[in-house]
Amino acid sequence: MTAADLKNGFLETLANLGDVGGLAPAEARGLFKAMKSNHVYHPFVAVADDGQIIGATTLLVEQKFIHSGGLVGHIEDVVVRKGHEGRGVGGSVVKAAVDKGREIGCYKVILDCRPELVDFYKKLGFREHEVGMRIDLARPSPSGARTRR
């Protein structure tokens, strides 16, 4: 993914995830810059023949203390632009993220998904494993108060 992709339908593609909110192009550029300067994030896009972005995902790479300091890839925000589903686009961005995880040296790549998407990921070689858990937290205030870890 490059910064230019942000202008070629990337935000319109993300909208199919349902929670893009009012993300403005300038905000998206700032977020992309922060992501690119952090070697943990690897965003991918699928590009149609006309240059429009029609699919996207992100691979996050986690450094473990356990497993001899091994690396784990986490796939997030897999999405295909409305009207372009069912043509292999989703599968191709997931495969690209898994390939990147392999190239980096991850010993596994994992993701959470809704139950109805289990078969989609099984077709791409994933198997069901453990259960996703979640706790909802208040968004941090703009003043940026932080807690020491």
Ligand X SMILES: CC(C)(COP(=O)(O)OP(=O)(O)OC[C@H]1O[C@@H](n2cnc3c(N)ncnc32)[C@H](O)[C@@H]1OP(=O)(O)O)[C@@H](O)C(=O)NCCC(=O)NCCS
The secondary structure element, H or E, covering residue 28 is helix 25-36
Nearer of residues 95 and 100 to ligand X, judged by Cβ = 95
Nearer of residues 33 and 123 to ligand X, judged by Cβ = 123
Q: How far is the CB of 108 from ligand X (least distance, A)?
A: 17
Q: How far is the CB of 133 from ligand X (least distance, A)?
A: 16
Burial label for 4, CB within 10 Å (0-12, 13-18, 19+), is: exposed
List contacts with ligand X (CB under 6 A): 16-17, 78-80, 85-91, 113, 116-117, 119-120, 123
Compute CA 128 distance to the chain's CA centroid, rounded to the nearest angstrom: 19
Number of residue whose CB is nearest ligand X:
90
The secondary structure element, H or E, covering residue 43 is strand 41-47
